Amino acid sequence: MAARKIVITSGKGGVGKTTVTAGLGYALAAAGFGVILVDADVGLNNLDVALGVEDRKLYDFSDILESRCRPGQALIRCGERDLFVLSSGAETPAMTAQAFRGVIESLATSCDFIFIDCPAGIENGFHRAVSAADEAVVVTNPAVSAIRDADKVLSLLTGYTLSSVGIAINRINGGKVLSGEMMSAADIARLLRRPTLGIIPEDAEILLGKTPAHNGRSEADEAFGAFADNIASRRARPYDYLSAHRGFRGFFRRRA
Amino acid sequence: MENYADKNFKRLEKILLSDKINIPEGFAEIVRRDIESVLSSYFELNRVRLEIIPSAAGAEITVSADASRIKTLSVGSNLD
Ligand SMILES: Nc1ncnc2c1ncn2[C@@H]1O[C@H](COP(=O)(O)OP(=O)(O)OP(=O)(O)O)[C@@H](O)[C@H]1O
Ligand SMILES: [Mg+2]
């Protein structure tokens, strides 16, 4: 069986690609799937840092391409589950889109999901990451500039052979949506005209550098669980990020 | 309090559409002058306005002009 290969991209930098890649990885591994997260942000290894395993790195992507190790040897295991990360390493002439795709293909026989964490922008690294995938998730946050860039990337993606393209809306604040200060996830989905696979609330624990989906208790953990469900079952049931801000729970939250 | 959500939604609708239609600079003025020259053979024109608004289908084009007089043309015989 070959793994589903999904690229996490955005256009605009800093909107949460690496956070989404890590959060989905944890949630799908917790559900029992075998998951490999690949850092395509070549020259800037972020993903191993986000997962807190940078100290355990022996080999990275460039070592595979320059035949210093086999692909499987460069995988770092995160926790008890079947969750692995492949660090990006340095940019080398051997790092062509074709070579990148080749390594991803060889890893696809050994797991259920491969997520490719795309670099910011739409330069060379973007093409390399997207052409190795057969599905894409475009991450945005509720800011006007991020949504505009997401729309541009969605147009660019129509030039690739992808079987599915969905969106993830990160850093939404239910309280601000209810008070009319922030666009709702439904509004953003209407503008971008793609299925919404994930909605992740603004969560202070993520900002503090804690890995999401670790204990299943924070709001973001719950949101990543729902996101992972959508990915695994190939549907787009929106996560109810407003429920925590309505009714009783919301009443106390608003007063806090 | 101002509703930023609505404001941003409407702003984005416009931005995303104009990103797609991508009207080059000066394009509207060239079209406006062309229309003006066609209309001016039939009317004594005061002003011609042209507006191109990106829409979901592509673009909505509005031309409006006002004239002080209709020019007298000998059209009758040509139509016989
Ligand atoms: N839902 C969230 N709540 C709070 N903070 C968040 C959330 N998502 C991301 N962040 C924070 O925003 C910052 C940028 O996130 P991240 O590194 O995931 O973005 P990125 O798209 O991968 O950036 P780059 O384009 O540089 O690769 C990080 O400090 C992260 O902790
Ligand atoms: Mg990143």
ipTM of the complex: 0.81
Copy the structure tokens of residue B60: 């909505």
B75's enclosing H/E stretch is none
A2 lines ligand 1 (CB under 6 A): no
For a mutational test of ligand 1's pocket, the pick from A19, A205, A208, i.e. the residue with the most ligand atoms closer than 8 A to its C-beta, is A19
Model confidence, pTM = 0.84
Per residue in A217-256, pLDDT (tens digit) is 688 889 999 999 999 999 999 999 998 888 765 555 555 4
> Mean pLDDT, 10 residues at a time, over chain B (80 residues)?
87 88 80 93 92 73 92 64
Return d(Cα A31, Cα A130) in angstroms, integer: 26
Q: Any idea where the domains of chain A sit in the sequence?
A: 4-255
- Å between B59 CA and nearest CA of chain A: 17
Put simply, the answer to whether B5 touches A182 (Cβ < 8 Å) is yes
Are B5 and A183 a contacting pair at CB < 8 A?
A: yes
Residue A37 and residue A117 in contact, taking contact as beta carbons nearer than 8 Å: yes
pLDDT at A213: 47
Please give the average per-residue pLDDT across A145-157, as a whole number: 95
Neighbours of B40 (CB within 10 A): 14
pLDDT of res. A211: 58
Give CA–CA dist B32/B27, Å, rounded. 9
CB contact under 8 A, B12 and A184: no
Element (H, E) at B44: strand B43-55
CB atoms closer than 10 angstroms to residue B67: 15
pLDDT tens digits, one per residue of A90-110? 888 889 999 999 999 999 999
Mutate to test the pocket of ligand 1, among A18, A46, A145 (most ligand atoms within 8 A of CB): A18
Helix boundaries (H) for A144-242? 144-157, 174-178, 185-192, 204-207, 219-233
Q: Count CB neighbours of B42 within 10 A.
A: 12
Indicate which residue's Cα is closest to atom 30 of ligand 1. A207
Q: Which fold has domain A4-255?
A: Rossmann fold (3.40.50)
